[in-house]
Amino acid sequence: MSDAVSKTGRWIDLANPTRFLSVAGAALPWLGGLTVLVLAIGFWMSMNAPDDYQQGSTVKIMFIHVPFAWLSMMCYTIMSVAALGTLVWRHPLADVSAKAAAPIGAVFTALALITGSLWGKPMWGTWWVWDARLTSVFVLFLMYLGIIALTRAMDDPAKSAKATAILTLVGFINIPIIKFSVDWWNTLHQPASVLRMGGSTLDPSYLKPLLVMAIGFTLLFFTLHLMAMRNEIWRRRVTAMRRVAARSADRGTVS
Amino acid sequence: MGALFLRDVRLGLRAGGGALVGILFFLAVIAVVPFGVGPDLKLLARIGAAMLWIGALLATLLGLDRLFQADRDDGSLDLLIMASDRHMLALTILVKCLAHWIVSVLPLVIASPLLGLFMNMEAAAIGATALTLLVGTPAITLIGAVGAAVAVSLPRGGLLVSVIILPLTIPVLIFGVSASYGAVEDPAPFLAPFLILAAITLFFAVLGPIAAAAALRSSAD
Spatial CB neighbours of A220, under 8 Å, sequence gap ≥ 6: A35, A39
Report pLDDT for A196. 56
Which pLDDT belongs to residue B163? 82
Alpha-carbon distance of A132 to A142, in angstroms, equals: 15
pLDDT category at A4 given cuts 50, 70, 90 is: very low
Of A154, A163, A177, the CB nearest to B215: A163
Paired with A56 in beta bridges are: A52
Can you tell me the distance from the alpha carbon of B39 to that of B27, in angstroms, rounded to the nearest whole number? 16
Averaged pLDDT, A53-77 = 84
User: How far is B92 from A132, CA to CA, in rounded Å?
Assistant: 36
Residues 6 or more apart from B90 whose CB is under 8 A from it? Answer: B209, B210, B212, B213
- Greatest extent of chain B over all pairs of C-alpha atoms, in Å: 58
Nearest CA in chain B to A135: B170
Task: Give percent above pLDDT 70 in chain B.
Answer: 95
A52: helix, strand or coil: strand
Q: Which residues pair with B6 in a beta bridge?
A: none
pTM as predicted: 0.79
pLDDT digits (tens, 9 = 90+) for A216-239: 999 999 999 999 999 988 888 898
Q: What is the DSSP code (8-state) at residue A51?
A: P
B195 phi and psi angles, rounded to 5 deg: -70, -40
How would DSSP label each residue in A155-188? S-HHHHHHHHHHHHHHHTTHHHHHHHHHHHS--S
> What are the pLDDT digits (tens) for A163-212?
888 888 888 888 887 777 766 666 667 666 665 555 566 677 778 888 88
Residue B134: per-residue pLDDT: 92
Q: Does the interface ipTM go beyond 0.90? A: no
B32 three-state secondary structure: helix
Query: For position A221, what pLDDT does the model report?
Result: 92
**Nearest alpha-carbon partner for B115 in B173, B172, B63, B51:** B51
Helix, strand and coil in chain A, % to nearest 5: 80, 0, 15
Q: Which of A65, A54, A64 is nearest to A189 (CA)?
A: A65
Are B160 and A169 an interchain contact pair (Cβ–Cβ within 8 Å)? Answer: no
pLDDT digits (tens, 9 = 90+) for B131-173: 999 999 999 999 988 888 888 877 666 778 888 888 888 888 8
What residues in chain B have per-residue pLDDT under 70?
A: 15-19, 155-157, 186, 221
| Angle at B158 (CA atoms; ends B198, B66), nearest 5 degrees | 70
How confident is residue A106, by pLDDT bands cut at 50, 70 and 90?
A: very high
Strand partners, A52: A56
Give the residue numbers in A contacting B (CB under 8 Å), as ranges. 87, 135, 139, 142-143, 145-147, 149-150, 153-154, 159, 162-164, 166-167, 169-171, 173-174, 177
Is residue B12 a contact partner of residue B104, using CB atoms and an 8 Å limit? yes
Query: Which of chain B's residues have a Cβ under 8 Å away from the Cβ of A171?
Result: 167-168
- Is the Cβ pair B207, A170 closer than 8 Å? yes
Contact B219/A159, CB-based, under 8 Å?
A: yes
Euclidean distance between CA atoms A237 and A85, whole angstroms: 21
Residue A5 pLDDT level (bands cut at 50, 70, 90): very low
* Cα distance between residue A137 and residue A29, in whole Å: 32
Tell me the one-letter amino acid at A239.
T
